[in-house]
Amino acid sequence: GQSLEQPSEVTAVEGAIVQINCTYQTSGFYGLSWYQQHDGGAPTFLSYNALDGLEETGRFSSFLSRSDSYGYLLLQELQMKDSASYFCAVRNQGGKLIFGQGTELSVKP
């Protein structure tokens, strides 16, 4: 079967750094994506890791370890607008994305 695990909630303060972890089990792993969703709006793509290592895009970075079936999203210099739900998603050999249950990030002043 396929499953993804991520924390349901994370709280951090403005200006801090927060890491959202994701572990997965899947057949035919091709890559790990991250999405952001504000208040039930359209999920928006943040990053994708197909190979081991760190990918950086501005304040956001994403890491993948294929041998550990593990990845994380790192958000630096947190801003209030970063309060949202964050989803990891596995791209599997069937050519589709399977999503985790999401992590709700609350950024406090």
Partner 1 sequence: DADVTQTPRNRITKTGKRIMLECSQTKGHDRMYWYRQDPGLGLRLIYYSFDVKDINKGEISDGYSVSRQAQAKFSLSLESAIPNQTALYFCATSDLLATGELFFGEGSRLTVL
Supply 70's token pair.
């593990």
Distances in Å between the Cα of 96 and the Cα atoms of 6, 28, 47, 63 are: 19, 11, 16, 20
- Which residues contact partner 1 by CB under 8 A? 8, 31-33, 35, 40-45, 48, 50, 87, 89, 91, 95-102
Q: Which is nearer to partner 1, 46 or 107 (CB)?
A: 46
Residue 88 is classified by DSSP as E
Backbone φ/ψ region at 77: left (φ over 0), alpha (ψ -120 to 50), beta: left
Q: Which is nearer to partner 1, 2 or 14 (CB)?
A: 2
**β-strand pairing of 60-65 with 9-13:** unpaired
Q: Which is nearer to partner 1, 22 or 107 (CB)?
A: 22
Q: Which is nearer to partner 1, 10 or 98 (CB)?
A: 98
Least separation in angstroms between residue 91's CB and partner 1 is 5
